[in-house]
Every structure is written in C-alpha cells, then in structure tokens.
Amino acid sequence: MQGYPKAGEMRLVSMDRQEAEVDGTNLIRNGDFKQWWAGAPVPNGFSQPAEAVAKVEQLQSGDVQGLGQVWLTPDRERLLDAMLRTESAPLEEGKSYELEVTAASVPGRVASLSLWSRGPEGWVLMADNFLTLQPQNMGLKTYRKVFTATASGPVAVAASSSGVITDDAVAWLEWRLTSAGGAAS
C-alpha cells in the first residue's frame, strides 16, 4: 500500500505539543437544569436545600433555562444536607477533573460551590468555596477550576453563600464536571 512504511520502518508523523484533552461528557446529571418535573422543588438529580436556609426556583427566558437561588439565612455551618447539591458519576482516583459553572450573581453578594467526597463514614468536605462567584452586575460569567480526585467514587457538588449576610443570590445556568485528561502530574 502506498504511503505506509515498510515492515520494521518508522516515520515521524507529527511533533506538535498536545495539551490534555477535555472529555466533554458532563459527569453531573442534568447539570444544565433542563429536566425539571412540573411541581418539583428542584431539577432532577438535585437535592433541595433546607427551607430555612435557601429557596430555589426555575428560571426560564426564551431558550435559556436555569435555577435561581436566594439564601434566607447565612449558611455558616456548611452542612451538606442543608445545601442545594448533586452527586456526580464516579470519578477515578488520581485523574484530573474540571468543574465549570456558568452563573450570574447579584452585585454585592457572593456564592460558591464546594466539593465533597464519600468516605466510609459518609460525605467529607474536600474543598469549601472551591469555585467562588464574584459579585457582578447580573452578567453571565463562566468559572473553571481543575482538581485531582483523591479517591475513586462520586463527589457531591454543593452551593453555599458567603455565610455572612442574608439575601445572597445567584442564577445558575449550568454546572459541568468533566474529565480533564490523564492523571495529574
């Protein structure tokens, strides 16, 4: 066949530097909040925050759909069961992952996402305020951060407020957790 090297012969095809490929599969089920049953308090795949801590509502404007969240009390205690949260598909220990969120926060207010891993005794906080949304003038912004899974299994991603004042608010458009390529070095 023309173009192929002979047996035992090698040819250099390319020598371009390659960055780790990001697998585009979202490991957070329904991370775009589009699957939301009529009358349900939260979208499919998510757990409702404690009623005393925060309220959530479905947001829709044309083709854009999301989730609005307002904190009723400062959530200083950071209890996972009291937060808006979801569980990812299982992650591989030692592999890098990217958490990306698209959201709009209210000027003067702060919100963040924390990561939790499941241990033998239950969920354990891995990183509080892993991604922090800075106060802005209601424009959409995308935040990204890479981490390495320290154990195999799912992680919980949970929303929290600044923990300082009430009425922290955010409009979440999408939560994405994707593979960031091979093992971290």
Q: Where are the beta strands (DSSP E) in the chain?
A: 46-47, 54-61, 64-71, 85-87, 95-105, 111-119, 122-133, 141-148, 155-161, 169-183
Neighbours of 31 (CB within 10 A): 24
| The model's pTM | 0.81
Is residue 15's pLDDT more than 50?
no
Mean pLDDT of all residues in 56-77: 83
Mean pLDDT over the full length of the chain: 81
Q: Which of 39-48, 71-80, 104-113 has the highest mean pLDDT?
A: 39-48
Q: What is the pLDDT of residue 146?
A: 96
Bridge partners of residue 154, in order along the sequence: none
Q: What is the pLDDT of residue 158?
A: 95
Out of 5-14, 99-108, 155-164, pick the least confident: 5-14
Is residue 68's pLDDT more than 60?
yes
For the chain, give every domain's residue range: 46-180
Which band of pLDDT confidence, cut at 50, 70 and 90, is reported for residue 104?
A: confident
- DSSP code, position 100: E
Q: How many Cα atoms sit within 13 Å of 83 on the Cβ side?
A: 28
C-alpha of 40 from chain center: 21
Is residue 105's pLDDT more than 80?
no
Q: What is the pLDDT of residue 49?
A: 93
Is residue 14's pLDDT more than 70?
no
Q: How many residues does the chain have?
A: 185
Q: What is the pLDDT of residue 112?
A: 87
Would you say 58 and 65 are in contact if contact means Cβ atoms under 8 Å apart?
A: yes
User: Is residue 47 helix, strand or coil?
Assistant: strand
User: Considering just the CA atoms, what is the radius of gyration of the chain in Å?
Assistant: 20
Rounded distance, CA 125 to CA 118, Å?
A: 9
Which band of pLDDT confidence, cut at 50, 70 and 90, is reported for residue 178?
A: very high
User: Domain 46-180 class?
Assistant: mainly beta
Would you say 129 and 112 are in contact if contact means Cβ atoms under 8 Å apart?
A: yes
Is residue 70's pLDDT more than 90?
no
Structure tokens at 35: 């699957």
Would you say 11 and 47 are in contact if contact means Cβ atoms under 8 Å apart?
A: no
